[in-house]
Amino acid sequence: MPLPGRSAPRSRKPPPPPGDIPDNQAYVTAAGPSGSYRLEVPEGWAETRTESSISYTDKLNSITVDEAQATAAPTIKSVTANDLPQLQKTTPSMALGDVTEFSLPGGKGLRIRYQADSGPDPVTQKVRRQAVERYLFWKNGTVAALTLAGPKDADNADPWSKVSGSFRWLR
């Protein structure tokens, strides 16, 4: 019971975990380097482009789309035989979650979920465990690999759903 003249202490909400993308984050439309797709990305994130990829980063989170030629749509069998061994070779401490089919407004494809270590922070050299979702969209001989990564304990389900659900082929 509070003392006379004083109000009861307010319960404080704990701060969000590191890497948690705020629910009120604004998004902007971005087009891939080839102009063959578009998607919504968080406004204000740093952008990096190459001839075949585009990436966005902010603090502990990243969004990358890599385009490549592919003669056929990826299958669980082809991803398991080819993509996963390559990911395991190039991804520090990768721990596979699952490979599943998805159907989103931008098309059907495969989703690979896994955990991996981030690169070291340039200042602190700290490495964080990341939760990663990789969506493989395929159309007309092109595969677009959309990779979403953020700290393992961050609640980024809604932002990742918004980004992956916004992917659209333009041609």
pLDDT value at residue 6: 64
Domain contains 2: no
pTM of the predicted protein model: 0.90
Domain contains 53: yes
Domain contains 18: no
Domain contains 149: yes
Which tens digits make up the pLDDT trace of 122-162? 899 999 999 999 999 999 999 999 999 999 999 999 999 99
**CATH number (domain holding residue 89):** 3.40.1000.10
* Residues of the domain holding 108: 27-169
Strands (E) in 10-128, as ranges, are 27-31, 37-42, 46-49, 53-58, 61-69, 95-104, 107-117
**Tokens, residue 137:** 């969209």
Distance separating alpha carbons of residues 135 and 6, to the nearest angstrom: 54
Domain contains 11: no
Domain contains 16: no
- Tell me which H or E stretch contains 84: helix 84-90
**Tokens, residue 156:** 């980024």
- When divided into structural domains, the chain yields a total of 1
